Structure 1
Amino acid sequence: MKDEEKTKEELVSEIESLREQIRTMERSGADRREKGETTARTKIEEELKSSEERCSKAFHSSPCLMAISALSDWRCVDVNESFVNITGYSRDEVMGRRLPIITAADQTRMFNMLMTEGSLRSLENRFTRKTGEDRWGLFSAEIISIREEKCLLLVVDDVTDRKRAEEALRESEEKYRELVENANSIVLRMDEKGIITFFNEYAQRFFEFEDQDVRGRNAVGTVFPQTDAASRDFRDMVEKVCRNPEKHLTNERESMLRNGEQVWISWTAKAIRSRSKNINEILWIGNDITERRRFQKRLVESEERYRTSIESSNDGVAIVQGDKHLYVNKRFVEIFGYDSVEEVVGRPVTFIVHPDDRERVATTNRMRQAGGTVPSRYEFKGVKKNGDTLCIEVSAALTKYGGEPISLVYLRDITERRSLEAQLLQAQKMEAVGQLAGGVAHDFNNILTAIIGYGGLLKMKMKEDDPLRVYTEHILSSAQKATHLTQNLLAFSRKQILNPEPANLNDIVMGVRSILRRTIGEEIELRTVCSRENLTVMSDVVQLEQVLINLAINARDAMPGGGTLTISTRLVQMDASAISKHDVRSPGAYACITVTDTGIGMDEKTKARIFEPFFTTKEAGKGTGLGLSTVYGIVSQHNGFVRAQSKPGEGATFEIYLPLTQVQAEKRSQREPASLAGGTEVILLGEDDPTVRLLSKQLLEEAGYTVIEATDGEDVIAKFNENRNRVDLLMLDVIMPRKNGREAYEAVRVIRPDIRVLFMSGYSDDIIDRRRIIRENLNFIEKPVSPSTLLGKVREVLG
């Protein structure tokens, strides 16, 4: 029967029935939202909260109005796009300010609920847009932590349209038809068989149907897909409504537009009964949740991407609950040498930790799980399945899973990094000790120069039968031994002067064999195995021979009961990876000398200190502790490096690596010694050490020379300017105050380009200057020097 054909009484009865239904809907509204629509929304909000830190994009694309505020003062930290679109406020208008959609009274009420109940769920509340328009929303809130600051996550589902529809229904039956016709929600009425009897304008626009196209048609095949599953779900929903006519039942289901496009609708269904309680029709109100479902799908995809990134991470990742591993990724398994994830999951946190660190790691984990203050990043000594140890760096954070606290733990194997750091520390320590040793040698050389010089002068003045001559010879002999000691210190500190030239390493090894045999004695067998390759290196042959002699002496002392000393050479190619593993300056071809003995060997503690100067395991008086430190210094100065391998009772092996050169080795020539005769020339002597200056002056004057003294570089220049036409030779210390020897020479050469010069030094802090002297073939003599050698060199330079 049409509405206009009904009697007044029937209309009144129907209106009264509608009033009753509206009141019932109002009373059950909260329940409906709690159990239906709000359940889905709350689920989304909870999913959003749990992934907000890794899914900020999802936060901003949520269809729900969302905001994050500091809990301390409610000032806004972030809002999403829906907040801007719905409220009309721009991000700049709300960031750092109190949210304009929450009044002071609402703020107090929500805060009290949060404090007493711990969270806020679906609080229906009014809010006002920037334009002044009031809207309704379901307010939900949670207290979260962002960068250790307590914040409030606010989620508002704008239910203004639904609220208006409900209010309009309650206000007037006369407005009912106008409301449903113009509501921004889908409103349908149908009978128990699913035949559509009412289809509001919003539904017509949404589904793209005209009213006459759907009236009288079955909902299945019109707004619901015509599939067995869809038909079954629809019938089940109708049966539930009919069994529970007083209740509002909710359902989210896939629906279909006229063009076949699939959409998702959140439906609320309620039976419409007559005064006699018979079910006349079923009222269906729906809201489009397609974007929400797509958002849920994106969340799932985001979770999957996150899971994939964890599985493919270069770091080990574990989820720890209590003291057990709930989850580990493949990289975690690889780091600790296990075969499968199943071997690790469920086992205690400390089963991968070395006993030395287990208590510390267990305590840290317990405190974190309890919410205590613990470092988020630390290191521990780990244990692999095969028992090997490794250094692990941990980064961990506390979060929740299923409402329970868990630790998300990232582990990184930094064993190689720590090994490289240890090598760097050792290199820095050796450099520091080397600088100290070089400084001592420098000062000592000046003292030795005076001892040897004056001792030589004294010896020259004594008669052959002088009874004191033997004491003088002992003094000079001891001074020469001290000279060798300083040379060893300079070798270790890499400050001594090398005379590099191309030489075949095999020739050096074969040439020193006779010396080595005499050095090690008859009880030790010497074996040499030389490579067939041409191993030409830039080297100071004398210094490399000293390296082999020092290693042979060290091996001899390690084999008191005899044994075998083997020296071999080979060609080695060093790739880029060797640069980080060893102290290699550049990749390429290297010559390697291997010296192996069958002696008592060394433990790790001893091996760590063997290159330190004055370190020795020998008895007092049986070693200076400079043998291996000299080896280290000489090899380093040749741009090479040394490796030592040894275990107690298994002998020792030293490998010396030197870079090859393309320059061909030449035959070494012998220089004839210069004449020791004196002369009558004028020599300008620049020396800052008064003892050495006085000695040199006396020695030169006794040989017939005229000596002009200068105490520093500036004094050299001044004295030369006063005697520029008299001076035949500059005799300059390399390092002097107020201009060094090189600078003084350069200044004088501007005036007299043909001036001759002889540099001398015991040790130069500026090794570059000394090398420049040699490279430019300038004359140089090294302190300490004997009187005869000094006079011979002076005569050689003067010609």
Structure 2
Amino acid sequence: VKAVIESGQVHESRVDAFKSVYQMRVSPRYSDDQRIVGAVIIFFNNTDLILAEQRLRKSEHETRGIIDGTSSLIFLKDISGKYLAVNQAFLNYFKLEEAKVIGKSDRELFPDKFANQFRNGDLEAILKRGRIETTEDFALKGGPSTFLVSRFPISETDGANPYAVGTVAVDISAQIEAQAALKKSESLYRGVVEDQTVFVTRFSRDAKINFVNTPFLKYFGGSKDDFVGNSLSRIIDASDRDSVLSEFKKLSATKPTVQLEHRFAQYGSSVRWIRWIAKAILGPDDSVAEIQAVGFDITEYRQQTDQMVQREMLFSNIFTYTTDFLTVYRLSNNGELL
């Protein structure tokens, strides 16, 4: 107060009271003849404003922590293309310093081709007034990295002209490489199974077919469209169907394989026998994601086995009911009786 009276200048300062914050303004008080005769003190209660400012700073600090903590590239530019903000991942990826980025355009930071790529994406988001997503290659680190890029205009109010463009870029190079490796692996797998003479099929636990190889189609007759998406039960004889499908459903992480046989009635032919060796393909949680089965025709084997059983039954009956004495001898390799 004394300083205001002596100088005639208005003084403002913050006053912290118990659970409250005030803005104090001290102004000189003049007499009718314009002499300073005292001071006027006014207190403004700024508690709500100060608390709101503190919350805003805390929120900004937390938001900045989240943005800098993510591995995604996040940056903000005004509509003229000047950088307003970038996160730490952006600086690390492009090996730049924040002070040398803010206020600069893409043309001042990157080669023309890359700068044009960025600027064209920003302009598209501004013109469309909405978010756009693209897959782009950032070839600035010796080799291309593929990013999923999302750009979106930022406006003060809905429908107003945007004043900035935000961008979030996620590096999906690893996913792209994994997909390429998977496609190559599947291509090699299909090449191998197509060269086999056995039947190869893959199906779900409810026997819905996902894949069949060429020998499968040649043997059972039809095209892939006739089988893929349909049930495997169509090639299983009705008398064996329930038991076979039940065995497939029993496959699990503790019982991943099974061997079974069933009959198949070929059109215009006799009944054939098929043997399958099935294996469960497990998912990340050890649940059965799919079943792969390799099959082959064992009709001749079954016929020979049946004939042997019939002969054994015949000999058994003869041995049991004959009145003659029977002796069985075993011969050595040189023909001597043992």
Task: Identify which of 259, 262, 271 aligns with 1:389.
Answer: 271
Which residue does the alignment assign to 1:264?
Answer: 146
- Equivalent positions of 1:312-711 (< 5 A) are 312-313=195-196, 314-317=198-201, 319=203, 328-336=212-220, 338=221, 340-341=223-224, 352-353=235-236, 357-361=237-241, 363=242, 377-394=259-276, 410-422=294-306, 424-425=308-309, 440-441=324-325
| Rounded Cα–Cα distance in structure 2 between residues aligned with 1:208 and 1:390 | 69
Give, in angstroms, the shift of residue 208 of structure 1: 3.6
Matched, 1:217 2:217: no
Give, in angstroms, the shift of residue 333 of structure 1: 1.9
In structure 2, do the counterparts of structure 1 residues 210 and 394 end up closer, same or farther at CA, with 3 Å as the change threshold?
Answer: same
Which residue does the alignment assign to 2:166?
Answer: 283
1:281 maps to amino acid = A
Preserved CA contact (<8 Å) 2:201 2:294: yes
2:269 maps to amino acid = G
Which residue does the alignment assign to 1:203?
Answer: 90
Preserved CA contact (<8 Å) 2:154 2:165: yes
Which residue does the alignment assign to 1:294?
Answer: 177
1:655-687 Cα offsets, whole Å, 9 max, x none, are: xxxxxxxxxxxxxxxxxxxxxxxxxxxxxxxxx
Preserved CA contact (<8 Å) 1:207 1:256: no
Give, in angstroms, the shift of residue 430 of structure 1: 7.5
Give, in angstroms, the shift of residue 381 of structure 1: 1.9
Preserved CA contact (<8 Å) 1:225 1:255: no
| Rounded Cα–Cα distance in structure 2 between residues aligned with 1:332 and 1:287 | 43
1:608-652 Cα offsets, whole Å, 9 max, x none, are: xxxxxxxxxxxxxxxxxxxxxxxxxxxxxxxxxxxxxxxxxxxxx
The structure that is strand-richer by fraction is 2
Task: Give TM-score scaled by structure 1 length.
Answer: 0.27
Preserved CA contact (<8 Å) 2:258 2:277: yes
Gaps of 5+ in 1: 1-15, 24-168, 443-492, 496-764, 774-799
Instruction: Give the CA RMSD over aligned residues.
Output: 5.6
> Match of 1:261, SS?
coil
1:335 maps to amino acid = Y
Identity of aligned residues (%): 18
> Match of 1:279, SS?
coil
Larger radius of gyration: 1
User: Larger relative contact order (C-alpha < 8 A, sep ≥ 6)?
Assistant: 2
Preserved CA contact (<8 Å) 1:368 1:398: no
Give, in angstroms, the shift of residue 206 of structure 1: 0.7
- Equivalent positions of 1:222-237 (< 5 A) are 225=114, 235-237=123-125
Give, in angstroms, the shift of residue 424 of structure 1: 4.9
| Rounded Cα–Cα distance in structure 2 between residues aligned with 1:396 and 1:233 | 51
Preserved CA contact (<8 Å) 1:194 1:219: no
1:217 maps to amino acid = D
Preserved CA contact (<8 Å) 2:125 2:152: no
Preserved CA contact (<8 Å) 1:181 1:202: yes
Preserved CA contact (<8 Å) 2:273 2:302: yes
In structure 2, do the counterparts of structure 1 residues 364 and 218 end up closer, same or farther at CA, with 3 Å as the change threshold?
Answer: farther
